[in-house]
Amino acid sequence: MTEWLERHIPKMVLAPSFIAILVFVYGFIAWTAWVSLTRSRLLPKYEIDGLIQYERLFASPRFDTAMMNLFIFGTLFIIISMVLGLLIAILLDQKIRTEGVLRTIYLYPMALSMIVTGTAWKWIMNPGLGIEKMVRDWGFENFSFNWVVDPDMAIYAVVIAGVWQASGFVMALFLAGLRSVDGEIIKAAQVDGIPSWRIYSAIIIPSMAPIFLSAFIVLAHLAIKSFDLVIALTGGGPGYATDLPATYMYAMAFSRGDIGQAASSAMVMMAVVFAIIVPYLYSELRTKHD
């Protein structure tokens, strides 16, 4: 009896959460996939009607803009956050006295919600209230920084706010990575008289590859699901210039009574996530098998 219990208790303890995930994650993914093939409007309907929702989705210029924005935002957000995070981490790694304080300062933006970040940056970048007005008041009459109200530049304003929020977190990841590199190797390199930029570029950074991967995965999924930042910063505007797939999906599902469109755009978003996550999982699982 006790032996049976010992063998089965782990399974029994895990079962509820397993069932919950099965239903609430995979079950609902399947449900969304089903609904995306129907002509659902206000309420979900279940008669399959082919790929009509996907045809409508790809014919919509607004969804085009949303995917393009996701691409611009995702690429810049990930690259700039990683570069800035790594730079700050390397600078903090120079055994400076106030590291604890500085680290906290850089990490704090992560403690804010995206809504707060978005609202604060909305005011900072507003041409009539923020930076532009301040610099003009200093006497530089021709200074202009109106990205947030310029349809062509607004998505880059979103990138600024996103990077401000996330780069501190990336810094913390990289700092932990830098500290985990074997000190003996670094000392050996120093004894050989190798300059410190070479030590970083040839020894430390290559040995941090797994950290890069984790940072990339975290940032990529933050980028794909970002919604609150755009809603707070620009509300998707000017026009729909800063729409992302997530805000498109929300508009279709909750303001326009077009559940079929919302479901199909959700499936496209999931496909994008899979395109990033699956190779990662594949490489992880493979190295375990070896």
Partner 1 sequence: MKKSVYAAVSAVAMSCALPVMAEPQAEVLHWWTSGGEAKSVAVLQNEFAENGGTWTDMPVAGGGGDAAMTALRARVLSGNAPTAVQLKGPAIQEWYEEGVLADISAVAEAEGWADVLPASIAGHMMCEGTWCAAPVNVHRVDWIWANADVLKANGIEMPTTWDEFNAAADKLAAAGITPLAHGGQAWQDATVFEAVALGTLGADGFKKAFVDLDMDTLKSDKMVAVFDQMRKMRGYVDDNFSGRDWNLATAMVMNGEAGFQIMGDWAKGEFLAAGKAPGEDFLCASVPGDGFLYNVDSFAMFNVDGDDKKAGQDLLSKLIVGQNFQKVFNLNKGSIPARVDVALDEFDSCAHLSAKDMSESSDNGSLLPSYAHGMALRGAQSGAITDVVTAHFNSDMSSADAVNQLADAVANSM
Q: Which residues bind partner 1 (CB under 8 A)?
A: 41-43, 56, 59-62, 122, 126-128, 146, 148-149, 151, 234-241, 251, 254-258, 261
- Of 69 and 122, the one with the shorter C-beta distance to partner 1 is 122
CB of 48 to partner 1, least distance (A): 19
- Of 254 and 282, the one with the shorter C-beta distance to partner 1 is 254
Q: Which residues contact 128 (CB under 8 A, 6 or more apart)?
A: none
Q: Say how far apart CA 148 and CA 128 lie, in whole Å.
A: 11
- Of 199 and 237, the one with the shorter C-beta distance to partner 1 is 237
- Of 211 and 259, the one with the shorter C-beta distance to partner 1 is 259
- Of 148 and 215, the one with the shorter C-beta distance to partner 1 is 148
CB of 71 to partner 1, least distance (A): 19
Q: Say how far apart CA 119 and CA 106 lie, in whole Å.
A: 19
Q: Say how far apart CA 237 and CA 149 lie, in whole Å.
A: 8
Q: Per the structure block, which two tokens stand in for 184?
A: 């003996």
Task: Give me the residue label for tokens 């690259």.
Answer: 79
Sequence-ordered alpha helix ranges (H) in 234-258: 245-250
Residue 64: CB atoms within 10 A of its CB come to 13
CB of 241 to partner 1, least distance (A): 6
Q: Per the structure block, which two tokens stand in for 113?
A: 């919600």
Nearest to 161 by CA among 221, 73, 87: 73
Strand partners, 38: 48
CB of 161 to partner 1, least distance (A): 14
Nearest to 53 by CA among 263, 245, 273: 263
- Of 45 and 103, the one with the shorter C-beta distance to partner 1 is 45
CB of 255 to partner 1, least distance (A): 5
CB of 32 to partner 1, least distance (A): 15
CB of 126 to partner 1, least distance (A): 7
- Of 73 and 240, the one with the shorter C-beta distance to partner 1 is 240
Are 154 and 247 within 8 A, CB to CB? no
CB of 43 to partner 1, least distance (A): 6
Burial class (CB in 10 A: 0-12, 13-18, 19+), 92: buried
Q: Per the structure block, which two tokens stand in for 60?
A: 């919509």
Residue 287: CB atoms within 10 A of its CB come to 8
- Of 41 and 187, the one with the shorter C-beta distance to partner 1 is 41
